[in-house]
């Protein structure tokens, strides 16, 4: 399929939508059931944009406070694990939570990194 999708590279590439194995959007046929299970379970990919901001959804309006807390805790743990060994100093400088079209709320980065599920 990559031969067919490759023709769309000029359109999808600049938008960051081009499938690639590193992002997990291209998988071997034997891994397909696992990837489908993960997608149905709510697996979320995250990466930095050009200005080193991380945009990740952690929930929906229908989620309870505990579910949002657990999702934020899991996200911060994933970010902590993704930190490269060569990175020195503070890896996360600022944490801000916001709704889609609402005002943002700043969160202390040290508190956010030390979250644990109750």
Under the banding of pLDDT at 50, 70 and 90, the label for residue 103 is very high
Domains defined for the chain, CATH in brackets: 1-43 (3.40.50.790), 48-118 (3.30.190.20)
User: In this structure, what DSSP letter does residue 110 have?
Assistant: H
Mean pLDDT on 45-52: 79
How far is 53 from 84, CA to CA, in rounded Å? 16
Residues near 47 by Cβ (< 8 Å), separated by ≥ 6?
Answer: 23, 54
CB-based contact 44:55 (threshold 8 Å): no
Residue range 51-74: mean pLDDT, rounded: 88
């Amino acid at each position: 399929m990559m031969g067919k999708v490759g023709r769309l590279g000029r359109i999808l590439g600049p938008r960051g939508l081009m499938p690639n194995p590193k992002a997990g959007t291209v998988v071997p046929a034997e891994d397909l059931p696992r990837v489908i299970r993960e997608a149905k379970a709510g697996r979320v990919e995250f990466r930095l944009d050009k200005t080193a901001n991380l945009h990740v959804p952690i929930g929906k309006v229908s989620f309870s406070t505990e579910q949002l807390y657990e999702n934020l805790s899991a996200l911060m743990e994933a970010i902590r694990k993704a930190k490269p060994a060569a990175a020195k100093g503070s890896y996360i400088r600022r944490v801000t939570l916001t709704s889609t079209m609402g005002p943002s709320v700043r969160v202390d980065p040290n508190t956010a990194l030390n979250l644990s599920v109750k």
